[in-house]
Structure formats: C-alpha cells, structure tokens
Structure 1
Amino acid sequence: MHQLYLAYGRKVKELLSQSDAETWIEDLWDMYTGFTFFSRESGYDPKGHDRFVPFKQLVFFFQDVGKMKS
C-alpha cells in the first residue's frame, strides 16, 4: 500500500508542477461555469448534483494543497 501512496504522490506532484493550486481552482471554476451554462441551455440534468460533489471535492483538494505550501 505504501508504494501506491508514493505513486499517487508522484502523480499529484506532476500535476501541481503545471500550475499552482490557486490557478487550478480558478480553472476548475471556469470549467464548471461553462458546464452549468451548457446545462442550462440543454435542459434539466438529473445527474447535475452528482457532478457537483466531485467538483467540490477537487476544489477543496486544491485549497488544502495551497495551504500546505504557505
């Protein structure tokens, strides 16, 4: 299990080397805003809430990462 955590850590480090946490949060909000505009135009989506929950968790993840670097 320890190897798996190290592998996850390497992937997260690689991801965060592309942009800082604040930039990821802004980009996530931009993507979600575009998605909600599309959803509004395309009609009711019964899975909308199911998509919001993982999105919210991603935002919280990047907020936590940002706090770690402070």
Structure 2
Amino acid sequence: MHTETYANEAANLKLIAYGREVNALLSSSSAESWNRELWTMFSGFILAQNETGRSSNLCNTYFSFKELLEFFEKVERIRRGE
C-alpha cells in the first residue's frame, strides 16, 4: 500500500500552503516593524486592564506575546542568513 507516501505528500502540500501564507504575511512588513506593532498592541492591552479589570488570562496572553516576538526575531535571523 502507498498510504504512507500519500500521507507524506498531503502533509508536504499542507506545509507548502502554510509557508505561502506566512511568506505573504511576513512580506508585508519587516520583523522589526512587526515587533513594534506587537509592543503597541500589548501595551494597549495592559493599559486597558485598568478600565476593564484584570484579565484572568493575562499570563497566557503574555506568553503568547513573547512567543510572537521570538517568532519574528527568528524570521529576521533567517532573512539575514544566520
């Protein structure tokens, strides 16, 4: 049976599709610009906590934010060929 080959081909096509979408997203701006925007959004979120009340999910939000920053830092290193 060739089910394993088909599964690998399907997974590869899915990864290629993800790659195209990520490339399109990242091509719209530099990693540095993305990081600035992320800081702006996160800062606004933290400031809004005074008005909306502290979020019980704040810890998860922070770590998601941190992971996004790390992602864009990795992207920048890839662009520079490091």
Match of 1:48 in 2: 58
Note the residue ranges of structure 2 that are not aligned, 5 or more in a row: 1-10
Deviations 1:18-61 (A, max 9, x none): 10111001100110000100012322211111111111111100
3-state SS in 2 of match to 1:44: coil
Please name the residue that 1:4 is paired with: 14
Q: Given the alignment of the two structures, is residue 27 of structure 1 paired with residue 37 of structure 2, yes or no?
A: yes
Considering Cα pairs closer than 8 Å and 6+ residues apart, tell me whether 1 or 2 has the greater RCO: 1
Structure 1 residue runs of 5 or longer lacking an equivalent are: none
Deviation at 1:14, TM superposition (A): 0.3
TM-score, length of structure 1 as denominator length:
0.92
Which structure has the greater CA radius of gyration?
A: 2
Aligned residue pairs: how many?
Answer: 70
User: TM (normalized to structure 2)?
Assistant: 0.80
Runs of 4+ in 1 over 4 A off after TM superposition: none
User: What is the identity percentage for the equivalent residue pairs of Structure 1 and Structure 2?
Assistant: 36
